[in-house]
Amino acid sequence: MGDISRFNGNGSSAAGDGRRKSCWYEEEIEQDLRWCYALNGILHTGESQYQDIALLDTKPFGKALVIDGKLQSAEIDEFIYHECLVHPALLHQMNPRNVFIMGGGEGSTAREILRHKTVDRVVMCDIDEEVVDFCKSYLVANREAFCDLRLQLVINDARAELKKIEERFDVIIGDLADPIEDGPCYQLYTKSFYESILKPRLKEDGIFVTQAGPAGVFSHTEVFSCIYNTLRNVFRYVVPYSAHIPSYADTWGWIMASDTPFTLDSEELDSRIRQRINGENRYLDGKTFASSSLLSKAVRKSLAKETQVYTEDTAKFIYGHGTCHKQL
Amino acid sequence: MGDISRFNGNGSSAAGDGRRKSCWYEEEIEQDLRWCYALNGILHTGESQYQDIALLDTKPFGKALVIDGKLQSAEIDEFIYHECLVHPALLHQMNPRNVFIMGGGEGSTAREILRHKTVDRVVMCDIDEEVVDFCKSYLVANREAFCDLRLQLVINDARAELKKIEERFDVIIGDLADPIEDGPCYQLYTKSFYESILKPRLKEDGIFVTQAGPAGVFSHTEVFSCIYNTLRNVFRYVVPYSAHIPSYADTWGWIMASDTPFTLDSEELDSRIRQRINGENRYLDGKTFASSSLLSKAVRKSLAKETQVYTEDTAKFIYGHGTCHKQL
Amino acid sequence: MGDISRFNGNGSSAAGDGRRKSCWYEEEIEQDLRWCYALNGILHTGESQYQDIALLDTKPFGKALVIDGKLQSAEIDEFIYHECLVHPALLHQMNPRNVFIMGGGEGSTAREILRHKTVDRVVMCDIDEEVVDFCKSYLVANREAFCDLRLQLVINDARAELKKIEERFDVIIGDLADPIEDGPCYQLYTKSFYESILKPRLKEDGIFVTQAGPAGVFSHTEVFSCIYNTLRNVFRYVVPYSAHIPSYADTWGWIMASDTPFTLDSEELDSRIRQRINGENRYLDGKTFASSSLLSKAVRKSLAKETQVYTEDTAKFIYGHGTCHKQL
Amino acid sequence: MGDISRFNGNGSSAAGDGRRKSCWYEEEIEQDLRWCYALNGILHTGESQYQDIALLDTKPFGKALVIDGKLQSAEIDEFIYHECLVHPALLHQMNPRNVFIMGGGEGSTAREILRHKTVDRVVMCDIDEEVVDFCKSYLVANREAFCDLRLQLVINDARAELKKIEERFDVIIGDLADPIEDGPCYQLYTKSFYESILKPRLKEDGIFVTQAGPAGVFSHTEVFSCIYNTLRNVFRYVVPYSAHIPSYADTWGWIMASDTPFTLDSEELDSRIRQRINGENRYLDGKTFASSSLLSKAVRKSLAKETQVYTEDTAKFIYGHGTCHKQL
């Protein structure tokens, strides 16, 4: 038995390697392109009326929330998505006090909003109660946000809710699935929705911001350019911006829109960050936003030439994003 | 909200498909050949002094025990492996009362032995207490076996244990990892071990049987033919046999050896199965064993020509089976 | 530059490993089970009116013919499939002189038949001329067979051809895709086809044999047991048999049927092999066939209980085998 | 036979889908992260004294050059890498006439340089003649460049060549593998190489630019930050910049360095592009470079804190980039 330590050492290293690479999550980015990450475990799985949901423990990205087979949010880099979604709009608004989130059931969007000292009311309107409950239970980083008294959680279709209420908001945030043809969120990206339902619920100097799908050199034609063009038909000032998110294996896009011009330079943004936001941003500051909102020549040309507008009748297809993850 | 049922249907089906294929376990059969099965979940994982262990919930094979990255035993077809390992030897023995298992910590080998009415004592000698505890806790099918009063569990190296004890057995069963060069189980497959340690612990009409690695048309040259040839140098009568095990993606081999001839035909085997075994076999009966022990021309020729004998000095390599899963 | 040999060595080994595992062919055995083999290259690809065809150079199995995404025939082990398909029927027939192949465009079935000294005429009837031409050009092992003057190649639907001709055959061989519901070969496996079209083209002591799909402990329920039961309704004597084919990742099945009993034992088979077959078989001999035709208890029970018969109206589904690879 | 068109349609669609996803190239980005793209074919493979090389026809990225198992250059987006590597340095230089490329055997770097009207001499110094010949033969897009009379091709180690020659260059470009510990290119990234060998071969207002490895929010710590810090110890002005390259599944980095300050704003860059570059850039213009050279907060912080300098003694490890693809 004198050899045990040797066998053990031997065994462990073999085991370590073997085991490390055996369980994989395979995400189809496109039909002929896959992004595969090794798993430590499958922490929780659930199923709601609308969606399947899982919390995975991945090796490269930490814990990851997967909805209907698509990675939504990974521990390691969700801060990029959520800082980019929330802070530019809130910082450009003069004094954001109330904010409406369409979707956002994960809780991270609310968490970032609640870091703003000016904010005294956040309405998060997600249609899927089970997903919200799942995230409340398992996403430790958002627990505090879910308990914040300034947060009002509404379980409803965002369109129905915005139609019903009379409150007007400083900022409205779209944290929804991409607008795919026949997809359930499509109607939350149309010109008529923006004009007749959403815009009336924004204050005069209010800002709307939405996630806007992949924004890579090629992938921006899937939905990013159309969302941009649709918003250009509804608001006077529209600012598209983008950032590479490692766990998405792509550059992602957001678009900010308002009838009030966006005039802050990066020093002014940095100064508002210091004044208004509790804690320190990890990703976004003035220079980062300046860089993010300067799109590359290829994307700028393509956006300038875009003519399609999302209406109830037209739609564009985006591969594999067929289900509404956060909102109907 | 009138559209929800449509969206839901849409979403569910997409979800169903997407989710179903996303988590995979990837087993390297050889360096350039992989066997990949979809996972429902990773039920339990653990680590012992010697090995890594996991209980997976796989889609094609049900619950599966994986040790050091290799699938050991799958709910759907472990009965093939364990019926083939246990019953031919016990049935051919005149009146098997005591049985010694080298390894076997999973418990399934003991479970099959304990179905024999003649058996009043089983010694299971496995070196890895944590693996045994893991299997006791999680493998529901073997719970009864682990509690059977006829079973004595010893935590020790099988060679050391066989050297120490003076009892002689009707049947000794090798349920160990394959004999790979520098691998920890190698010394439990050598001619000198069989001659000086194992054989003295068999009664005169005792039978030894061992799992003997892959036994496919090509894969039998990895270790099966050498174990066969080694045993042929130690025992007068040696019977190799094989069966295809779906979850292993290969045909598997076992070898039975004794100094007493094996003379039963398939009717006699069937009659002993009826008399001696509680419950009904799912895989093995007289005709199945007749078929299993008639190897194909290609394998028979190769076995006949085999000249290598496992000694402390020689060894043969088998890919990726580098760690001793059950026994040092 | 003195370090180059070191770098080179370093580079080569890394390169070797890296390169070796980078290109993979992925075959979906079932929806949740994949068989993946590394590729050296993609030698030829083509497309016919009916099917897609490729010749791959695989690392584990050598050159492999892939039709409509399914591996049909691999250099390393196609001899198992083709020896099992051809020789048992021809050997059991008293004096096989003419043989009809339904499908078989690859040429390997003809090659094995032409090794029989008694045979003076082989009709190979495949619907897909391009596939036949592809195989003629690229499958070196079958070149001689394609040039044999005893071989008559007919490009036609096998059913139409058998209906049209008046010749009767000693042996008819079905080398077709599996009978899947709505699949194009389904009608070549029905009771009415066997009774009214095929059987009349067999001589009185003629033998029909067909490939019969997967025949593993579980997979035999896909089509093997139904083809068996259908033939049992048409012929007096029916012999199912099976063998594990490594590149298929499963045990495969064939079924032989006749109105004349099959009475040869394994010595008689061996003697006919010596007398009638040129060259030496690699896989099949008397004992191998004895073993192959003794099915395991699990499969025997399941076959005995099978009640389904393939008719124009009923069908059974087999996953992923949806296209007729060889014949309409 | 009236059903053929139906079968055919059926078959084709199944075939199309099945075939489309069967051959994959699998690139290990990290040990637990894979990037997998479907293949149409493997066009050419070769092996040089130093490296393995292959030209793949990929579905998502078009033709792709793979060296030692890593995708180097894909038809669809190599323009991003090469425009970013070449144009910023040449544009910032007052009047670039002669340019030295370390590595660059693919030819794309030379192609971009030769678009500059000011350039009358390009020296491309690659150690691997076979790779250069392979690219000359197969990369159609670079054929013209390889034939340009201004291009001088030298087969040699870049360090040895720079030591030997006395010419001084307006721009030197590093198009080499990443500096990995014990890797063959490591010595072409050290402080002493930059100081004593490279810098003396630059004219006084000369500019050095090098590819600098992954530059993502996390991946920039592999080598990007250290190359940056090393260059900061050798040159007075150092500009790091980055861009997302879809086929690399990451953001990539380049670093430009000089003892002359970089003072152009984006309008001046655009004006020089119009004056000096033949044809139109697809990716890079003034705004794109402004965005690329504004790094995100996370990366800027990390670069500012970097203390490591590449010397002959220290090194940092980057996973899986173990071989020098282009240069020793």
Can you give the residue ranges of every domain in chain A? 4-74, 78-305
Chain C residue with minimal CA distance to D23? C25
Give me the catalytic one of C128, C175, C178, C250. Answer: C175
Q: Beta A169-175 vs A98-103: how paired, if at all?
A: parallel
Query: Whose CA is closest to B80, among B54, B55, B61?
Result: B61
ipTM of the predicted structure? 0.86
Is the CATH code 3.90.10.10 the one for domain C13-72?
Answer: no
Which positions of D are catalytic? Answer: 175
The size of the A-B interface in CB pairs under 8 A is: 124
Q: How many CB atoms within 10 Å of residue D7?
A: 19
Minimal CA separation from B47 to chain A, in Å: 9
CA distances from A161 to A107, A124, A156 (A): 19, 11, 6
Q: Which three-class secondary structure state does DSSP give residue A279? A: coil
Nearest chain A residue to B21, by CA: A26
Cβ–Cβ below 8 Å for C288 and B294: yes
Strand order in the sheet with C250-258: C151-155, C121-126, C98-103, C169-175, C202-214, C250-258, C237-245
For the segment D123-129, the average pLDDT, to the nearest whole number, is: 96
- Cβ-based contacts of A295 with chain D (< 8 Å): 287, 291
> Cα–Cα distance between C93 and B134 in angstroms, integer?
57
- At C147, list the tokens: 């040039």
Helix (H) or strand (E) holding B109: helix B108-113
Provide the pLDDT for residue A19. 38
**Is A touching D (3+ C-beta pairs, cut-off 8 A)?**
yes
Task: State the chains in contact with A (3 or more Cβ–Cβ pairs under 8 Å).
Answer: B, D
Looking at residue A21, its pLDDT comes to 55
Nearest Cα residue to C145 out of C84, C82, C189, C237? C82
Mark out chain B residues that contact chain A at CB-CB < 8 A: 1, 3-4, 7-8, 10-11, 14-16, 18-19, 21-28, 39, 41-42, 45, 49-52, 54, 56, 66, 68-70, 157, 160, 182, 184, 320, 322-324, 328
**CA C118-C122-C126 angle, 5° bins:** 155
Q: What is the total residue count of chain D?
A: 328
Give the distance from residue C50's alpha carbon to the nearest chain B alpha carbon, in angstroms: 28
List C-alpha distances in Å: D173 to D84, D177, D257, D328. 11, 13, 11, 15
- Indicate which of A25, A30, A33 best probes the interface with D, i.e. most D CBs within 10 Å of its own CB: A33
Cβ within 8 Å, pair C283-B297: yes
> In this prediction, what percent of chain C has a pLDDT beyond 70?
89
Best residue of C23, C291, C292, C301 to probe chain B, by most B CBs closer than 10 Å? C291
Give me the catalytic one of B128, B170, B175, B178.
B175
Using the beta-carbon criterion (under 8 Å), do C297 and B284 form an inter-chain contact? yes
Partner residue opposite C290 with nearest CB, options B216, B283, B294: B294
Per-residue tens of pLDDT for chain B, all 328 residues: 222 222 222 223 333 343 345 899 999 998 899 999 999 999 988 888 888 899 999 999 999 999 888 899 999 999 999 999 999 999 999 999 999 999 999 999 999 999 999 999 999 999 999 999 999 999 999 999 999 999 999 999 999 999 999 999 999 999 999 998 777 799 999 999 999 999 999 999 999 999 999 999 999 999 999 999 999 999 999 999 999 999 999 999 999 999 999 999 999 999 999 999 999 999 999 999 999 999 999 999 999 999 999 998 765 444 443 333 333 3
Does residue A328 register a pLDDT over 80?
Answer: no
CA distance C185 to C176: 7
Instruction: Choose the closest CB to C296 out of B36, B59, B291.
Output: B291
Q: Which are the contacts of B305, defined by CB distance < 8 A and separation ≥ 6?
A: none
Give helix D78-92 / helix D266-276 axis angle, nearest 10°. 100
| Joined tokens for residue B147 | 């509690």
pLDDT at A289 over 50: yes
Task: Show the tokens assigned to C56.
Answer: 């791959």
Pick from D21, D42, D69: CB nearest C15: D69
pLDDT at B315: 53
Burial level of C190, CB count in 10 A (0-12/13-18/19+)?
Answer: buried
Evaluate if residue A325 carries a pLDDT over 90. no
What residue type is assigned to position B60 of the chain? Answer: P
What confidence score (pLDDT) does residue C68 get? Answer: 84
- pLDDT of residue A24 exceeding 80, the answer is yes
Q: Among residues D217, D289, D285, which one has the least CA distance to residue D256?
A: D289
Q: For the segment C225-242, what is each residue's pLDDT rounded down to a tens digit?
A: 999 999 999 999 999 999
**Which chains form contacts with chain B, at 3 or more CB pairs under 8 Å?**
A, C
Provide the annotated active-site residues of A: 175
% residues pLDDT > 70 (chain A): 89
Confidence of residue C312 (pLDDT cuts 50, 70, 90): confident
**Which H, E and C letters describe A207-238, residue by residue?**
EEEEEEEECCCCHHHCCHHHHHHHHHCCCCEE
Evaluate whether D247 touches D77 at the Cβ level (below 8 Å): yes
pLDDT value, residue D315? 53
Nearest to B33 among C32, C37, C283 (CB): C37
Give the pLDDT confidence of A194-223 residue by residue, as tens digits.
999 999 999 999 999 999 999 999 999 999
**Are B21 and C30 within 8 A, CB to CB?**
no
Q: Do B33 and C294 touch (CB under 8 A)?
A: no
pLDDT at D139 over 60: yes
In angstroms, rounded to a whole number, what is the distance separating the alpha carbons of residues A114 and C247? 59
**A196: distance to nearest CA of chain D, Å?**
36
Give how far D101 is from chain A: nearest CA, Å.
26
Q: A164 CA to chain B: closest CA distance, Å? A: 13
Residue identified by tokens 């499908």 is: C103
**Residues of D within an 8 Å Cβ radius of A:** 20-21, 24, 30-38, 59-60, 76-77, 80, 216-219, 243-244, 246, 249-251, 281-285, 287-288, 290-292, 294-298, 300
Tens digit of pLDDT for each residue in D170-215?
999 999 999 987 777 899 999 999 999 999 999 999 999 999 999 9
DSSP assigned state of D235? -
CB pair distance less than 8 Å for D18 and C324? no
pLDDT at A296 over 60: yes
Torsion of CA D223, D224, D229, D234, to 10 degrees: 100
User: Considering the domain D78-305, what is its CATH architecture?
Assistant: 3-Layer(aba) Sandwich (3.40)
What DSSP string describes C173-214?
Answer: EEE-----TT-TTGGGSSHHIIIIIIGGGEEEEEEEEEEEEE
Contact C284 B297 (CB under 8 A): yes
Give the model confidence (pLDDT) of C23-60 as tens digits. 999 999 988 999 999 999 999 888 888 888 999 999 99
CB contact under 8 A, C51 and D25: no
In chain C, which residues have their Cβ closer than 8 Å to the Cβ of D18? 28, 52, 68-70, 320
Assess if CATH 3.90.1150.10 describes domain A4-74. Answer: no
The mean pLDDT of C305-316, rounded to a whole number, is 83
Q: Is B33 helix (H, G, I), strand (E, B) or coil?
A: strand
Optimal mutation site among D34, D56, D245, D287, interface A, most CBs of chain A within 10 A: D34
Mean of all residue pLDDT scores within chain C:
89
Give the tens place of pLDDT for each residue, D72-82: 999 999 999 99
Given an 8 Å threshold on Cβ–Cβ distance, is B216 in contact with C21?
A: no
Q: How far apart are the first and last CA of chain D?
A: 64
**Burial label, D81 (beta-carbon count in 10 A; 0-12, 13-18, 19+):** buried
Give the pLDDT mean for D108-112. Answer: 98
Residue B314's pLDDT is what? 65
Residues of D in contact with A31 (CB under 8 A): 20-21, 38
Lowest mean pLDDT of B291-305, C22-36, C258-272, D216-230, name the range: C22-36
Confidence band for A22, pLDDT divided at 50, 70 and 90:
confident
Considering the four listed CATH numbers 2.30.140.10, 1.20.120.850, 3.30.390.50, 1.10.287.3510, the one that applies to the domain covering D15-73 is: 2.30.140.10
**Both tokens assigned to C57:** 């150079």
Q: Is the pLDDT of residue A307 over 80?
A: yes
Q: Max Cα separation, chain A?
A: 80
pLDDT one-digit tens code per residue, C188-218:
999 999 999 999 999 999 999 999 999 999 9
Question: Which residues, in sequence order, are CB contacts of D204 under 8 Å at separation 6+?
Answer: D259, D260
Kindly report the nearest CA distance between residue D155 and chain A, in angstroms: 35
Do residues D252 and D81 lie in contact, with contact meaning Cβ atoms separated by under 8 Å?
yes
CB-based contact B244 C217, cutoff 8 Å: yes
Q: Tell me how far apart the alpha carbons of residues A250 and A256 are, in angstroms, rounded to a whole number.
A: 20
Residue D326 — very low, low, confident or very high, per pLDDT cuts 50/70/90? very low
Q: Is the pLDDT of residue C318 over 70?
A: no
Residue A246, pLDDT above cutoff 80: yes
Nearest by CB to C22, which of D22, D25, D41? D25
Chain A residue numbers touching D60 (CB-CB < 8 A): 30, 32-33
Query: Residue C47 and residue C69: Cα distance in Å, rounded?
Result: 12
Asked if the model's pLDDT at residue A85 lies above 50, the reply is: yes
For residues B35, B39, B43, B44, the Cα torsion angle rounded to the nearest 10 degrees is 30
B160 interaction partners in chain A (CB closer than 8 Å) = 1
CA C140 to chain centre: 18
Determine whether the interchain pair B49/A8 forms a contact, defined as Cβ–Cβ distance below 8 Å: yes
Element (H, E) at A10: helix A4-20
Asked if chain B contacts chain D via 3 or more Cβ pairs within 8 Å, the reply is: no
Least Cα separation, residue D282 to chain A (angstroms)? 6
Among D63, D9, C291, residue whose Cα is nearest residue B215:
C291
Residues 6+ apart with CB under 8 A from C298: B282, B283, C217
Q: B143 in the Ramachandran plot: left (φ > 0), alpha (ψ -120 to 50) or beta?
A: alpha
CA angle D56, D57, D59 (to 5 degrees): 130
Full 3-state SS string of A174-207: EECCCCCCCCCCHHHCCHHHHHHHHHHHEEEEEE
What's the mean pLDDT in A153-173? 97
Q: What is the pLDDT of residue B69?
A: 83
